[in-house]
A and B are shown apart, each in its own frame.
Chain A
Amino acid sequence: MPIEVDDAEILSKFQDEKTRNEAFNMLLKKYQQKIYWHIRRMVIDHDDADDLAQDVFIKVWKNLAGFRSDAQLYTWMYRIATNECITFLNKKKQKNNVSIDDVAYELADTLADSTYFNGDAAQRKLQEALLTLPEKQRLVFNMKYYDDLKYEEISQIVGTSVGALKASFHLAVKKIEAHLLSRD
Chain B
Amino acid sequence: MENKDWLNDYMSLKQINPANPFTVPAGYFDNLEARILSRKKLEDIKNNAPEGGFTIPENYFEELTNNIQSRIAIDAALNEDSGFTVPEGYFDELTNKIQSRIAIEEVVKEDTGFTVPEGYFDALTNKIQSRIAIEEAVKEDTGFAVPEGYFDELTNNIQSRIAIDEAINNEDAGFAVPAGYFDELTSNIQSRIAIEEAVGESSVQFTVPEGYFEKLNQSILNKTLNQENVKRRGIVRKMFQSTAFKYATAACFTVAIGGGILLTEISNPASDHKNSFLHKQLSSVPLDDIKSYLQVNVDAGNTQQAVASEGTQVNDADLKNALQNYVDSVQ
Contact = CB atoms under 8 A, between A and B. Distances in A.
A117 B12 contact: no
A62 B13 CA distance: 40
Interface in A128-184: 144-146, 148-150, 170, 173-174, 176-177, 180-181, 184
Contacts of A37: 20, 22
Could you say which interface size class chain A belongs to?
35 or more
B32 A36 contact: yes
Interface in A19-33: 24-25, 28-29, 32-33
Interface in B22-50: 22-25, 28-29, 32-33, 35-37, 39-40, 43, 47
What is the predominant secondary structure among interface residues of chain A facing chain B? helix
B2 interface: yes
Nearest to A115: B23
A176 B13 contact: yes
Contacts of B18: 145-146
A157 to B, nearest CB: 14
B40 A61 contact: yes
B15 interface: yes
Interface residues of B, number: 29
B33 A32 contact: yes
Contacts of A120: 17, 21
Contacts of B35: 54
A54 to B, nearest CB: 5
B1 interface: yes
B212 interface: no
A181 B12 contact: yes
The list of the 5 closest CB pairs from A to B, nearest first, reads A119-B21, A123-B21, A180-B12, A116-B23, A122-B16
Interface of B: 1-2, 4, 6, 10, 12-13, 15-25, 28-29, 32-33, 35-37, 39-40, 43, 47
22 contacts: A32-B29, A32-B32, A33-B29, A36-B24, A37-B22, A46-B24, A50-B28, A54-B35, A54-B36, A57-B39, A57-B40, A58-B40, A62-B43, A116-B22, A117-B23, A119-B21, A119-B22, A122-B16, A125-B16, A148-B4, A173-B6, A177-B10
